[in-house]
Every structure is written in structure tokens, then in C-alpha cells.
Amino acid sequence: MKKGILIFCVFLLIGCIHKKEKWVFMMAGQSNMAGRGIVEAQDTVTNSNIFMLNKEMKLVLAKEPLHFYEPKLDGLDCGLSFAKELHKNLPNNIDIVLVPCAVGGSSISQWLGDSLFRNVKLYSNFKKRMEYAKSIGSIKGILWHQGESDAHQKTLPLYRKKLQQLFKNFRHDAGNDKLPILVGELGNYAKPEKRNKNWKTLNSILHKIAEKDTNIYVISSVGLTSNPDKVHFNSKSQRKLGKRFAKQFIKINKQKNNN
């Protein structure tokens, strides 16, 4: 009798888990999305409502580092802090699924051209993982951080057009032409002066794109600090950036529910 009750409870629990709604977020771009911060103990604490799609395309509890394409370089990104902050503002019947797709050093042209970069076919990998994620839950948004590789005089003039095309492609494959895309600014700590100017120019391009598309949101990097390399966000700033991404998505969700 006791064994029968136990089996019934197990099946009931499994049924409840499968009934939970899953919100999927793609993470794409280059190194500041892939993460170069130092992973600390707090970043490896899992949450039963937050998952990731791992290298083997299996759904596992999320913990940092989320990315795995560059084993010698991958570190803390903004994904887990984003998910934890977002989950605080969601009902308990919703799980969050993170899908890491960022590869350090990748340019916008390489994403558009589906280049093989650091042993990753950039767009094919993104599309394959998104297609699988769609069978798990609903694609709710894309977290994007990229641009350091394109912040040069030769590539800046075409950056706006190329990024708009890439985002159009993302939405087409997601099957949602109004899919929210949250775009992180490049850091405000760039030096020397020439690079600083180019990074500011690229950030201004991001804002111009968002002005024309009400479903693109630029996430500020003001006050965030870097590793000694003056390129990558440090751990503290990655956690802050993740929270900023989350707070923006919470606003999006509230606006949607109020309409």
C-alpha cells in the first residue's frame, strides 16, 4: 500500500514539473556575453526553476560558467544573475531556460555569414539550439552583447544595417517578428582615446536602432567596471548587467500584461 502511494506521488510530482511553463532566453554575441569574469561560489548555486541548455543539448540546472565554446577562456557571464533577478518577479509555475550561444571575438559579419569561428558555426549553432529550445518552451527574448570586434573605422559605417538584418533573421527563425531583443552597451571604460571614441559611436548606433524598433531595448553599461584588460566586464559588473537585463524584461512583461 505504502509503495503504491509512493509511486503515485512520484508520478504526480513528474506531472507537475512537466506542466510548468518554460520561458526561453537566447544568449548571443561575443566575449562579454560569453563571459570573462571570475566564477565565484555564489555563481555556482543552482535554482530549481532556472535551467540551461548544455553542450550536449540537455536541459540541466543552470550554474556558471554557462558558456562552453572556449574552455580556456569562458568565465562568468550575465546569464544566471539575469535569470535569478527575473525569477523573483515571476509566478512559481514558470521556469527559465538559458541557451548560451555567444563566442568571443566574433564579428557581426561572421554572424551574418554563418562563419566557422573558433570551431563554432555561429548562426547555424544559434538556429539549431533555438529550434530545440522551442520544443521545450516559449522563446521570450534574446540577450545580445557584441560590438567590440566591429568598433573600428572600417566596419562602423555598415554596422547598423548589418545588425538590423541579423536581428530580423533571429526573429524570423523564432517565428516572432516582435520578439524582444535586449542589447547591452559596450563598456564606458575603453582606452586609449581612439578606441573610446569608436565604442561610444557603436553605442550610439545601438540607440538609433532601438529608436526605430520598439521591441529592441538598449541596456546601459554606465558605472560598470572591467577586468584589467579594459575590454571585459569583471564579475561584479557581469552580475549588475544581468540584473539590468532582467529589470528591463520585467518592464516589458508588465507593459504586455497591462495592454
Tens digits of per-residue pLDDT, 95-120?
A: 999 999 999 999 999 999 999 999 99
Q: What is the pTM of this model?
A: 0.91
Q: Is the pLDDT of residue 234 over 80?
A: yes
According to CATH, the topology of domain 21-258 is Rossmann fold (3.40.50)
> Quick check: 62 pLDDT over 90?
yes
Lowest mean pLDDT among 3-12, 40-49, 127-136, 207-216: 3-12
Residue 57 pLDDT > 90: yes
| Band of pLDDT at residue 258, cut at 50, 70 and 90 | confident
pLDDT band (50, 70, 90) for residue 18: low
| 145-170 tens-digit pLDDT | 999 999 999 999 999 999 999 999 99
Q: pLDDT exceeding 70 applies to what percent of the chain?
A: 93
Distance between CA atoms of 69 and 62, rounded to whole angstroms?
16
Among 3-17, 43-57, 204-218, the minimum mean pLDDT is found in 3-17
221, pLDDT greater than 80: yes
The pLDDT score that the predictor gives to residue 25 is 98
